[in-house]
Each structure stands twice: as C-alpha cells, then as structure tokens.
Amino acid sequence: MAVRYSQELTNIAGDEYRVDLLDSKFVGTTSEFILVDFEADWKGQQNDRSNFITGSSCSVIMQSTTSSNLDTLVNDILEAEEGRFQIAIYKKGGSGAGSYELWWWGLVLNDLSQGADETPTEYVITATDGIGILKGVTYENNGLPFIDKTAVDTLMTALQFIPYSSFFDAADVFLHTRVDWFEANMITTSDDPLSLTQIPSSAFYSIDSDGNYTFDSCYEVIETICNLFKARLFFANGVWRFYQIYDLENESSFNQYRYYFDQTQRSGTQNLQLRQTLTGGFSGGTRLATQTFESFAPLREVKQTFIHDSSDNIIKGVTFNQSTPLTQLTTSSVSSLNDAVLSFSGSLQTLLQDTASVGPLVVYVKVRMTLRLSSSYYLIRPINNQVQNSDYTNLSWSFSTSGPTDYVEFITVQNVNQFGGISIPINFTTPALPTSGNLFMRIEIEYVQDLQQNDISANYTTQAILQSPYLEYVQGDAENERIYKTLNSTTAFFSDVLEFPELKTADRINSTTAHALKVFDGTDFVDSTADWGRDTLSGNQNIIRIGIEEFLAGQRKAVRRRQGEFVGQFEVYNVLGVSSEYFLFLGVQYFANDARFSGEWYKVGQYNAAGIVTTEIGLPIDVQYPPDAPSTGQTSVADPLPTNIEMTDGRVEIIENSTGTRKIVLNANDFNYIVNQLAIGTDTADASALVSLSSTTQGFLLPRMTAAQRGDIASPATGLMVYQTDATAGIYVYNGSSWDAL
C-alpha cells in the first residue's frame, strides 16, 4: 500500500494533521494536493442511548487545478475495486510539536466520492472505517467454525475481516479495552476480563439437519460481545476502543488495556483521562457555540432474554457411519434430574456391494447402535426384542465399564447390490437417565451373514449410515430461554421500557445450557457458574443481570440531551463537560479547519443503583413442544405429559401417585376402563353408586338391538341389560341362564 497523495493541514486551534491517500496499485513518488478540509462523522443512533456500535466516516475535500490535477485520481477511484484506495489521517501529539500519530483510517467508498462542475474543481473523497461492511461478511474459518476464543480474540478476529491490506503491522496497537467485570472463578482482577472470558464459537453459527452451517456475520458477532458486556465500540485516535458504558458515564479516568494487531496484549495499562471541561474561552482551549436541550424519558424497565435452547438436536449436522469412532456428542453434559430422558429418531441405511462375484443372495446385516451416558451407562434392549427392529418396549440402561452383552441392534435383510440398500426408521424414547454426564454415540456392523448364519462379510463392501439423526434431551432441569428484567424502584407513567437484543451466550444456568461462557481460573477455562461483580471477585450477580442493572442505574431520571456545537481542541472519546455537567456523544461531526464539533450528546454521571429490583424467569421445556422430536413412546415424562400420565401406541393411562395403580385407561387398541366411581352430569357422585347420572333434560340409553342380535351375544354376564326393538319390545336382563323381560 503506497501513499499516492499527501498534504498537511493546521486548523484555527493549532491542531496539525496530515492526510494521506493510499493506493494499493500505485508505484512512484508521493504528490501533494490542495487540501481544503476534512470532516469526520461518528454516526451514532441519536435516538438510541443503548446503541453500542458507532461507525465513522470521513470526507476529504480537495481541489483540482491545472497545476494539481486530480481528475485521473478521481476516475481511478470511481473505477477501482473496493479496498484499493484508503485514507489515513495523522495528527501531531501537540500544537507545533511532537510526531504524527494515526488519528483515523478508512476505506474509500467509490460511490460516495463526488465532484463539482466548477473551476477550480472541488472533489469530495469519502471513506468509512469499515465496520458497516462486516454486516455482509460471515464469521467463519474457511467454511468451518473458529475454535473457541477469548472475548477479546473473538472481537479482534471479527474486526480484522475489514480489509486493512497490510496497513497495520503486527506490532501496531489496534484495540483499547476497558471492562471491569470479574467472575468469582477468575484468577485475578489485575488482567483484562475480556482475555479471561472465553466465548464458545457455537454461539455464532447454527447447523441444519444436513450438516450445513449458517454463520453469523462479523457485525453480529461484535454486536453480541458489545451487548454481553454493555460496552461501546468505536474507532478514534487510530485505534478501536471498547469501553463499558458504566465507565464512560461515571469515571473521570480509567486504566485501559491495549492489544497489538497480532492479537497479543501489550504489557501494562495506560491511564486515559476521560472528562474534558469546556471553559468557555478559546486561548488553547474550547468555546461554545449554539446549543439546545431536550430530554430522554427516564427508564422504568430494562430486560434481556438469554436464548439457551435445550430442546434442540444434540447431534444435528453429524452423520454417523460404521467408521465413526465413539465420540462425545455434546460439550455440555446432560442432567438426570426430574425424570430426564432422551428422544431419538433417524434412519439407518445399510448398503451392500458384491466384491467377490458370488451372485444374488439374501444377506443379513446386523448393526449395533451404542448410546452411552457418562463413562459406563449403556442403553440396551434384550435379545428377544431385536428380532423386530421397531420394538423398544424393554429398553433399559446397563451399568458396565466394558460394555453390556446387549445393545440396541438392528437386522436388515436385502439382496446383493440392491439399489439404495435398506432403510430402517428409528424412533424411541429412552428410560429416565440413570446419571448425569456427557453423551457418546456410534454405530458398528456386527455381522454380515447368509441364511445359514455363515460369515460372508469378506464377499461384500458393507456400509451402515445413520441418516438425519435427531437426539434430544427432554425434561430434566433444561430450559429454552431465560428472561431477565430489572425495574426502577420509582414508578413513572411516562417512562420508557428498553429491551436489549437477545443473547445466545452468557453464564451456565444448568448442565444443559447451550453456548455457556467459560472463564480462566489460573489453570484452564472452566464453565462460568459463579457470580460477577464490578472490580471484585466477590460479586453477587450473573453477567446479564449486572449489565441491565448498571444500565438502568444510569438512566433512572430524565436524561438531558444536548444538541449543539463547540470549537477547540477535543477528542471524540472524551466526555464533554459543560457548566459542571458531563455529556457523552450519541453522534458527532468534526470539521477539521474550524476545529468545530457538532452533534448530539446525553448527560451522564447520575448513577443510582439503590432499590433496583431484578427478576429472572426461566422458560422450561415442559411448556413447549420440542421441534421435530419423536412422538412415539412418551412415557412417564412431563413433556408433553404430566407425571404419572403415560401415553404410547394409542393408549393413555392415568396412574395413582401413591400406589402406582392404573385408574383410567383409554386404549384405542383394546378396551377402556375407570377404576373409581364415575359421575356424569354432576360433580358429586352418590356414595352407594359406582355410576351416578344427573340430568333434567336427558336420560340413560341402553344398547338397542333385535331379539336375534341379543341372542348372538357371546357369554353374556349375569345382570347384562339391553333394550329389544322387535317382537315383544322392552328391557331384557340376563339372569345367568336366560333373558327375562322387565
């Protein structure tokens, strides 16, 4: 990347800048150009005080004359591929002294660069810091997920998808951070929590049933990290800055961590003086111009949802065949609490190819499916059940350190070279889990035999493939999401309610929590199961709760908004002090020649955490139907059935809790019965009656039939009653040997 044009500018406040226009295809000597001005714009969401990502752009205004002709340059920009041209702006450390340091950098936007038809021709070249282009760039590593990274490494990896074209060297400082939350498992408060927190890469992609990945964009990844730590990200004074809102609103200075472009941490910290008071004068300082004031309404409620979907396919995207080793399926273990079970569905396909030219034969292929929980519990079914592939009535868990004698096995019968092989549907629910732990699964070909049970495996190439497998954890202590809500202790009719975007990563709630954070305990990264606190290892809140409480605590009163301008020496990361009040920018423009800042700001420094009330609501799986899960054999589980209500294969049973006796059976395959008294038309049964009927508009109707039909009843019970419709019509009762008319 070579500098094609360069020019310096000194503004009325004495700030000295150098503007370089870089061209990746330029070879030659750098030329000067007529620099009229440049305008930097930090494009915040001016009506959104919860906006965490502030992109920036810069427009360089230049003139083209006969002696300094920029027409060729502008034509090259308009025809160039994206990323070829860049703008780098440098600023001296002090007025009239010091060396130039990077102040801003951006990619030139071809479509936003323009000129005016006048003499001298004035051109405006516009560039962006690149954060916006990340919305169209997926966070992936050559089609695969990244390995789990720390929060700071994840942030820098996503940012470095911006095409810097070797602008930054490995040892250039690239990122400044200020996060002051620590989890009790962390080793120290003397390091950056972003480097002590690991975010699972699974939080940034999904997999469909065919194993296809859908990745989040790099912008969405950055949004997640900002949203998790309630921090603002923006580019200023040559580096990306990641600062927690709390510190921007409440601190006059803080120590920040610094990271090089190669993602290594620079030793030590740097103190940043945050607040700058405007004196109203201009001798080396600043002066105010016009300003107007409005207000944000106070916040009454802030809430956020943590999506940790446990009703999901544990093995989505995984295709098993006989060559797959016995591998762990989930990084998080499952729990055996509350009658947790596993629901499984899939299709087992066996394929045979004749390699010995033995001719058409009927071949029996037996495939073993191993489903193991923890290190020593195996799911099995007895041998007598395995002759019918769809019979799962006697599944059980077996404790064994070497594997049981029985497994879940399937037998297929097929002709050699049969097109497409044989597919067996698999659909079952396991008994309640015997223990908590990780899951392991594999399939194996146990034998290939002929009708006489001879081993003929050497004659064939045999494959067993488990297609579209779906394994779901049901019940236990699983949840699909948790909603956190914090309330202002003072009520206000006209106050605002703010809902932050959903998070897919946070602390581990229980053993089934997906995408849970890990923290470094001095030896390894472990699940984040403890509480967080500000500047302490002894906090008492989880990470989402501390974030929404801190945000609400700074917004409990009406928040003053300032729209206006001032002139002088100022940096955009500073907090603006006006008449003993401090303001943080929402969106601001900087006009270099005039040293003028114009934009919108909101008042900070009114933090009050007293009396804030926070609630959290977990949504368990048993209030929802798991998507695409098997429906057969839902026995003794609360999803979708309550405890001691069993339903399987057309039968519903209601069982008494204390004795285990079946009291009501609705059986579509056989007969139905109710053990206790039955009351119809009333909620009070007569104590002496097994069946009580009550109505003033309807009667009791006996079965109606002819005399011949009555005579065809096989083995009628004594006391059986019917109504005969022909011959001598009326009610007949069987006395044990014959029918009597009543």
- Where does residue 422 rank: exposed (0-12), middle (13-18), buried (19+ CB within 10 A)? middle
Residue 187 in tokens: 């080793």
In this prediction, what percent of the chain has a pLDDT beyond 90? 46
pLDDT of residue 623: 36
- Please check whether residues 488 and 361 belong to one and the same domain: no
Name the residue with higher pLDDT: 200 or 622: 200
- Please check whether residues 447 and 366 belong to one and the same domain: yes
Least confident of 75-79, 104-108, 211-215, 647-651: 647-651
Q: Is residue 238 part of a domain?
A: no
Q: Is residue 389 part of a domain?
A: yes
Contact 600, 587 (CB under 8 A): yes
- Split into its structural domains, the chain has a count of 5
Least confident of 113-122, 439-448, 469-478, 661-670: 113-122
Name the residue with higher pLDDT: 633 or 95: 95
Name the residue with higher pLDDT: 33 or 591: 591
- Please check whether residues 330 and 456 belong to one and the same domain: yes
Contact 442, 326 (CB under 8 A): yes
In this prediction, what percent of the chain has a pLDDT beyond 70? 87
Q: Which sign does the torsion angle of CA 578, 583, 586, 592 carry?
A: positive
For Cα atoms 202, 153, 328, give the angle at the middle one, nearest 5 degrees.
30
Cα separations in angstroms, 164 against 73, 158, 624: 21, 13, 47
Q: What is the pLDDT of residues 182-197, one digit of tens each?
A: 999 999 999 999 999 9
Least confident of 277-291, 363-377, 624-638: 624-638
pLDDT of residue 88: 97
Of 539, 555, 571, which one is at a domain's C-terminal end? Answer: 555
Q: Is residue 504 part of a domain?
A: yes
Q: Is the pLDDT of residue 632 over 50?
A: no
Of 413, 440, 474, which one is at a domain's C-terminal end? Answer: 474
Q: Is residue 58 part of a domain?
A: yes
Q: What is the pLDDT of residues 567-613, one digit of tens each?
A: 888 899 999 888 788 999 999 999 999 999 999 999 999 899 988 98
- pTM value? 0.72
Q: Is the pLDDT of residue 680 over 90?
A: no
Q: Is the pLDDT of residue 65 over 90?
A: no
Residues sharing a CB contact under 8 Å with residue 252, sequence separation 6 or more, in sequence order? 273, 274, 275
| Gyration radius from the chain CA atoms | 37
From CA 385, how far away is CA 408, in angstroms rounded? 9
pLDDT of residue 635: 41
From CA 343, how far away is CA 639, in angstroms rounded? 11
| 117-120 contacts at long range (C-beta below 8 A, 24 or more positions apart) | 120/34, 120/63, 120/64, 120/65
- Please check whether residues 331 and 466 belong to one and the same domain: yes
Name the residue among 10, 66, 3, 76 with its Cα closest to residue 37: 10
- Please check whether residues 521 and 658 belong to one and the same domain: no
Q: What is the pLDDT of residues 485-531, one digit of tens each?
A: 998 865 555 578 889 999 999 998 876 787 899 999 999 999 999 99
Average pLDDT, rounded, for the chain: 85
- Please check whether residues 456 and 375 belong to one and the same domain: yes
Amino acid identity of residue 130, one-letter, is G
pLDDT of residue 21: 94
Q: Is the pLDDT of residue 625 over 50?
A: no
- Please check whether residues 687 and 658 belong to one and the same domain: yes
Of 82, 114, 129, which one is at a domain's C-terminal end? Answer: 129
Strand 532-534 relative to strand 181-183, pairing: antiparallel
pLDDT of residue 657: 72
Strand partners, 273: 253
Q: What is the pLDDT of residues 529-566, one digit of tens each?
A: 999 999 999 999 999 999 999 999 998 888 888 888 88
pLDDT of residue 621: 59
- Please check whether residues 347 and 462 belong to one and the same domain: yes
pLDDT of residue 536: 96
Name the residue with higher pLDDT: 139 or 555: 139
Q: Is residue 124 part of a domain?
A: yes
Which of 232-246, 668-682, 691-705 is modeled with the greatest confidence?
Answer: 232-246
Backbone φ and ψ for 425, nearest 5 degrees, come out as -75, 140
| Residue 331 confidence class, pLDDT cut points 50, 70, 90 | low
| Residue 70 confidence class, pLDDT cut points 50, 70, 90 | confident
Q: Is residue 103 part of a domain?
A: yes
Strand 581-591 relative to strand 575-578, pairing: antiparallel
- Where does residue 684 rank: exposed (0-12), middle (13-18), buried (19+ CB within 10 A)? exposed
Domain that holds residue 99: 2-129
For Cα atoms 574, 297, 132, give the angle at the middle one, nearest 5 degrees.
50
Q: Is residue 91 part of a domain?
A: yes
- Please check whether residues 522 and 382 belong to one and the same domain: no
The residue count of the chain comes to 742
- Please check whether residues 484 and 467 belong to one and the same domain: no
- Look at residue 14 and give its three-state secondary structure: coil
Residue 366 in tokens: 């037996």
pLDDT of residue 230: 97
- Please check whether residues 466 and 335 belong to one and the same domain: yes
Amino acid identity of residue 225, one-letter, is I
Q: Is the pLDDT of residue 478 over 90?
A: no
Angle between helices 151-159 and 218-229 (to 10 degrees): 140
Q: Is residue 100 part of a domain?
A: yes
- Please check whether residues 6 and 85 belong to one and the same domain: yes
Mean pLDDT of 427-438: 89
pLDDT of residue 564: 86
Q: Is the pLDDT of residue 648 over 70?
A: no
